[in-house]
């Protein structure tokens, strides 16, 4: 069978695969997405889009459109007594956006297709093998027809039961933490105040969030009545648990869909195996507490896409692709711990202990004091990557969306829409930048600090310096550009396409 050739093949057109596909297509990297479904998903699983995800969307010119379709909440209510205030987040988006997952997917799919990504529905990845030059992928159509693809790189964004992960022979260690969680989208006759709220009792817990269009998401768990996922959810039971946990069922009626699910906490030990990468639910799954799953998958995609694009274009430093696992695995681990902590509070039988923990700070030991820190953690704004010893204190941290001076772009995140690095400096433009044509964009920071900062395409600081001496500063900049943006133009052949 002749294999269809593409540069990057992505298994799975969920939010993770679609963001990645759009980014690669926008960098002119040929990309093909194979999706098992043959029609659009109408599952509104994830409904919370956090601030850092909205910032990533902003760096792609998508945030305002998504926000116009959703509902903003600037507070999260945890376990009756604790409120996490998002309104003071240092971001253009000091809120959580409530929007069904399919809206996010639609937007990402439209962008990916319009930029030239090829998305093939009704085609399931069934296996793969790799050699020094690329990856051979086996697939099967809805009618059972087998097909084959060859790609330089493959990304498994094919969800929790990832066929790519299985084909790599990687384990997915962890455990099931909660069975028989009921979920429904309902109308309410007497809506509560506009806040995302959760509370627990000895009998279970209930969670309620407004979509802003009259529909509400309710999640309820009954400790004393556990059924398999295949059993239909029961609105009366959801009402009863909600009354116990939140004091009222708010006149819940007319569910547009109901479902029952179980919760696993798992993480693959390696996000990379040669030319194959895992991202999103294929790499990590956790409880929906804190609304982190889709957000973390989208951040995986934002971290990987520019690195893969550079590798596909032959400009990536040999170590660059390894930074994907090095940076994203610890974040996945952290998110697992945080959502585990929140879930454990919800599962506590003792109301006194739950209140004590909630009062002491949400999932106290796990997420720290419920102050600005909890808001930064839950929103993703506080996520930073490890920087090597001796690096500037800003290295690895999120670059805030500062205003720019004398540019076509008013602010940093607009300048990042081109997909290249941004060098922020008010000093004389270093002439050595000409050696990285098209890879680094020069911008003058509005606040004009003396500092020089190299910002990665995903909005994190690659390198920074306060060095006042131009010669020493340019020598350090040359090293940083070579590490992060690859060899200077004309010398890329020195790199093997690893």
Ligand X SMILES: Cc1cc2nc3c(=O)[nH]c(=O)nc-3n(C[C@H](O)[C@H](O)[C@H](O)COP(=O)(O)OP(=O)(O)OC[C@H]3O[C@@H](n4cnc5c(N)ncnc54)[C@H](O)[C@@H]3O)c2cc1C
Residues in touch with ligand X (CB under 6 A): 11-17, 34-37, 41, 45-48, 101, 124-125, 157-159, 163, 183, 261, 280-281, 288, 291-295, 297
Q: Which is nearer to ligand X, 45 or 275 (CB)?
A: 45
Comparison of 204 and 291: residue with beta carbon closer to ligand X: 291
Choose between 100 and 430: whose C-beta lies nearer to ligand X. Answer: 100
Cα torsion angle, 305, 311, 312, 313, sign: positive
Q: Which is nearer to ligand X, 280 or 396 (CB)?
A: 280
Q: Is 125 or 399 the residue whose CB approaches ligand X more closely?
A: 125
Contact criterion met (CB below 8 Å) for 292 and 367 = no
Question: In 10 A of CB 30, how many CB atoms?
Answer: 17
Compare residues 290 and 396 and give the one whose CB is closer to ligand X: 290
Min dist. Cβ of residue 80 to ligand X (A): 20
Residue 110 C-beta: closest distance to ligand X, Å: 16
183-201: b or e for each residue (b if 16 or more CB lie within 10 Å)? Answer: bbbbebeeeeeeebbbbbb
Q: Closest approach of Cβ 156 to ligand X, in Å?
A: 9
State in angstroms the smallest separation of the CB of 414 from ligand X: 25
265 is written with which tokens? Answer: 């906490």
CB neighbours of 353 closer than 8 A, spacing ≥ 6?
A: none
Kindly tell me which of 46 and 186 has the beta carbon lying closer to ligand X. Answer: 46
Comparing CB distances to ligand X, the nearer of 140 and 478 is 140
- Three-state secondary-structure class, residue 433: helix
User: Phi-psi category of 12—alpha, beta or left, where left has phi over 0 and alpha has psi -120 to 50?
Assistant: left
Q: Which is nearer to ligand X, 140 or 225 (CB)?
A: 140
Nearer to ligand X, 375 or 461 (CB): 375
What sign does the dihedral 269-271-273-278 (CA atoms) show? positive
Minimum separation from the CB atom of position 37 to ligand X (A)? 5
Q: Could you tell me if 162 and 275 are in contact, meaning their C-beta atoms sit under 8 angstroms apart?
A: no
Contact criterion met (CB below 8 Å) for 246 and 206: yes
CB 449, min distance to ligand X, A: 34
Half-sphere exposure in the Cβ direction for 430 (13 Å, CA): 24
Query: Can you point out the beta strands (E) in 157-287?
Result: 174-188, 196-201, 204-210, 216-222, 252-267, 272-273, 276-278, 284-285
- Rounded Cα distance between 32 and 120, Å, is 7
Q: Which helix (H) or strand (E) holds 152?
A: strand 146-156
Most distant CA pair in the chain: distance in Å?
73
Q: Please report how close the Cβ of residue 291 comes to ligand X at its closest, in angstroms.
A: 3
- Closest separation in Å from C-beta 95 to ligand X: 14
| Alpha-carbon gap, residue 228 to 383, rounded angstroms | 36
CA dihedral for 420, 422, 427, 430, sign (positive or negative): negative
Q: Which is nearer to ligand X, 16 or 273 (CB)?
A: 16
Task: Report in angstroms how near the CB of residue 398 gets to ligand X at its nearest.
Answer: 18
The C-alpha atoms of residue 292 and residue 9 are separated, in whole angstroms, by: 25
- Single out the residue of 308, 311, 322, 320 nearest to residue 482, CA to CA: 320
C-alpha torsion sign, points 445, 320, 174, 16: positive
Least distance to ligand X from the beta carbon of 244, Å? 20
Closest separation in Å from C-beta 68 to ligand X: 19
**Closer of 283 and 311 to ligand X (Cβ):** 283
Question: Nearer to ligand X by C-beta: 50 or 239?
Answer: 50
Report the C-alpha gap between 161 and 19 in whole angstroms: 20
Q: Is 42 exposed, middle or buried (0-12, 13-18, 19+ CB in 10 A)?
A: exposed
Q: CB 20 → ligand X: shortest distance, Å?
A: 9
Distance separating alpha carbons of residues 310 and 142, to the nearest angstrom: 34
CA distance 435 to 488: 5
Q: How far is the CB of 375 from ligand X (least distance, A)?
A: 16
């Amino acid at each position: 069978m002749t294999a269809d050739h593409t540069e990057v093949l992505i298994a799975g057109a969920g939010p993770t695969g679609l963001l990645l596909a759009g980014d690669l297509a926008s960098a002119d990297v040929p990309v093909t997405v194979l999706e098992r479904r043959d029609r659009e998903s109408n599952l509104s699983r994830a409904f919370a889009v956090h601030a850092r995800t909205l910032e990533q969307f902003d760096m792609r010119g998508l945030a305002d459109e998504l926000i116009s379709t959703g509902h903003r909440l600037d507070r999260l209510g945890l376990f009756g007594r604790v409120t996490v205030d998002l309104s003071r987040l240092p971001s253009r988006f000091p809120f959580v956006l409530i929007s069904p997952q399919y809206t996010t997917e639609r937007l990402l799919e439209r962008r990916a297709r319009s930029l030239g990504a090829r998305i093939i529905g009704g085609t399931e990845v069934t296996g793969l093998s790799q050699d020094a030059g690329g990856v051979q992928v086996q697939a099967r159509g809805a009618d059972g027809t087998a097909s084959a693809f060859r790609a330089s790189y493959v990304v498994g964004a094919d969800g929790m039961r990832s066929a790519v992960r299985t084909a790599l022979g990687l384990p997915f260690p962890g455990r099931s933490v909660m069975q028989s969680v009921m979920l429904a989208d309902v109308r309410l006759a007497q809506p509560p105040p506009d806040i995302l709220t959760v509370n627990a009792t000895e009998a279970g817990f209930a969670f309620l969030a407004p979509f802003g269009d009259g529909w509400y998401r309710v999640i309820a768990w009954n400790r004393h009545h556990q059924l398999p996922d295949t059993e239909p959810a029961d609105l009366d039971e959801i009402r009863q648990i909600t009354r116990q946990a939140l004091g009222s069922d708010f006149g819940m009626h007319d569910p547009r869909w109901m479902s029952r699910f179980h919760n696993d906490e798992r993480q693959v030990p390696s996000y990379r195996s040669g030319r194959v990468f895992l991202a999103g639910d294929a790499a990590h799954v956790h409880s929906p507490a804190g609304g982190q799953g889709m957000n973390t998958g989208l951040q995986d995609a934002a971290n990987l896409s520019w690195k893969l694009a550079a590798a596909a274009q032959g400009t990536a430093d040999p170590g660059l692709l390894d930074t994907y696992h090095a940076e994203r695995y610890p974040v996945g681990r952290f998110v697992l711990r945080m959502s585990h902590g929140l879930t454990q509070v919800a599962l506590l039988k003792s109301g006194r202990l739950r209140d004590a923990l909630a009062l002491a700070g949400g999932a106290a030991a796990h997420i720290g004091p419920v102050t600005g820190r909890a808001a930064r953690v839950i929103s993703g704004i506080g996520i930073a990557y490890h920087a090597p010893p001796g690096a500037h204190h800003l290295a690895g941290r999120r670059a805030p969306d500062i205003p720019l001076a004398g540019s076509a772009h008013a602010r940093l995140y607009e300048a990042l829409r081109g997909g290249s690095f941004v060098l922020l400096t008010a000093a004389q433009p270093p002439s050595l930048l000409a050696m990285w044509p098209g890879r680094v964009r020069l911008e003058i920071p509005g606040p004009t600090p003396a500092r020089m900062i190299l910002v990665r395409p995903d909005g994190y600081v690659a390198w920074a310096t306060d060095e006042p001496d131009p010669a020493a500063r340019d020598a350090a900049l040359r090293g940083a550009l070579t590490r992060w943006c690859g060899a200077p133009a004309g010398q890329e052949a020195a790199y093997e396409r690893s």
